[in-house]
C-alpha cells in the first residue's frame, strides 16, 4: 500500500527506524490521514464514511478485514500492541471537526480534542518505537498536546476562513478578543497578546514533555523526540514572526529538518 507519510513533518523523523517500524508507521499514518481527509474533503458524507471506517476497524480486530488498509492494519496490530481504543478515539476526535461552527469553550474541552487527534497518534507510535517505563505514555500524551497546539497556531488563518476557532473561547475573553475580530484576524494588540499567550502555552508543553521523559527510554524514543523537535522549531519560527499571528504558513526546509534530526541524534550519543 502506498502512503505519503514522507511528505509530512513527521516523515523525516522516521529516518531512525527499522524497515518494519517504518512500514507500520506508514499504515498508521494512512489510517489517520484517511479519517482526517474524510472530514475535511467530504463533510456532507463524512458521518457515513466514518461509520464505515469504524466498522472496518471492528473487522480488523476480529481478524476479518475487508479493505487493503484494513489488511495492512491487521498485520501491524499483530506485531505491535496498539490498543483498539486509540483508533476509536482518533475517529471521535476528527468527527468533532464536523461541528458547525468549531468552538471550544475551555482549555479542558480543547484538551479532549487534542488528545484524540494528536496524543493518541503519539501513543500509537511509541508502541511501535518501544518503551520500558509507563511514564513514557504520559510523555507521548503531552507531546501530542504541544504538537497539536503548534498546528492550531500555524494554521490559524486557514481555520478562521472556514469558521473554526480552536483556541479556547475563555482565552479570547481573557484578552478581550471578539470572535468576529478573531475570524477576520485584524491586527490588534489584543489578538497579538492572545497569540503570545498561546505560544507560551505550547512552549511549556514541550518543556514539560522533555522534563518527564524517562531516562531509560531516551534512546528508544529518539524518533518521538525528533518529531517533537521539528514541531518545536515551527513554534520558534512562529514566535519570531514580525507580525503575530502571521498570515504566511510556516514550513521547514528539508535541510532544516535534517539538521534538527542530526542535533536530536547527537544528544542521544
Q: What is the pLDDT of residues 116-169, one digit of tens each?
A: 999 999 999 999 999 999 999 999 999 999 999 999 999 998 999 999 999 999
For Cα atoms 251, 255, 257, give the angle at the middle one, nearest 5 degrees: 60
Spacing of C-alpha 227 from chain mean position:
10
User: Can you give the pTM of this predicted structure?
Assistant: 0.91
Indicate the fold that domain 10-268 takes in CATH. Answer: Farnesyl Diphosphate Synthase (1.10.600)
Q: Which residue has the higher pLDDT, 11 or 18?
A: 18
Q: What is the pLDDT of residues 76-96, one digit of tens each?
A: 999 999 999 999 999 999 999
Q: Which residues of 35-47 are buried (b: 16+ CB within 10 A; e: fewer)?
A: beebbeeeeeebe
Domain boundaries, given as residue ranges, for the chain: 10-268
Note whether 46 and 92 are within 8 A (CB).
no
Amino acid at each position: 500500500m502506498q502512503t505519503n507519510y514522507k511528505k509530512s513533518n513527521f516523515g523525516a523523523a522516521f529516518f531512525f527506524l527499522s524497515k518494519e517500524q517504518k512500514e507500520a508507521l506508514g499504515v498508521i499514518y494512512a489510517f489517520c490521514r484517511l479519517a482526517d481527509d474524510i472530514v475535511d474533503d467530504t463533510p456532507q458524507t463524512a458521518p457515513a464514511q466514518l461509520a464505515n471506517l469504524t466498522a472496518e476497524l471492528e473487522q480488523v480486530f476480529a481478524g476479518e478485514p475487508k479493505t487493503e488498509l484494513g489488511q495492512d492494519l491487521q498485520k501491524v496490530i499483530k506485531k505491535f500492541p496498539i490498543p483498539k481504543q486509540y483508533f476509536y478515539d482518533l475517529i471521535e476526535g476528527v468527527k468533532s471537526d464536523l461541528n458547525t461552527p468549531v468552538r471550544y469553550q475551555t482549555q479542558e474541552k480543547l484538551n479532549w480534542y487534542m488528545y484524540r487527534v494528536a496524543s493518541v497518534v503519539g501513543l500509537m507510535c511509541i508502541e511501535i518505537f518501544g518503551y520500558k517505563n509507563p511514564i513514557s505514555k504520559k510523555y507521548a500524551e503531552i507531546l501530542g498536546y504541544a504538537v497539536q497546539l503548534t498546528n492550531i497556531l500555524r494554521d490559524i488563518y486557514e481555520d478562521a476562513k472556514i469558521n473554526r476557532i480552536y483556541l479556547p473561547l475563555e482565552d479570547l475573553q481573557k484578552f478581550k478578543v471578539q470572535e468576529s475580530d478573531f475570524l477576520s484576524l485584524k491586527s490588534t494588540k489584543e489578538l497579538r497578546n492572545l497569540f503570545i499567550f498561546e505560544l507560551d502555552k505550547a512552549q511549556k508543553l514541550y518543556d514539560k514533555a522533555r522534563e518527564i521523559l524517562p531516562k531509560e527510554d531516551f534512546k528508544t524514543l529518539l524518533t518521538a523526540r525528533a518529531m517533537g523537535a521539528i514541531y518545536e522549531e515551527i513554534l520558534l519560527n512562529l514566535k519570531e514572526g514580525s507580525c503575530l499571528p502571521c498570515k504566511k504558513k510556516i514550513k521547514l526546509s528539508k535541510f532544516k529538518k535534517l539538521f534538527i534530526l542530526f542535533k536530536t541524534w547527537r544528544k542521544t550519543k
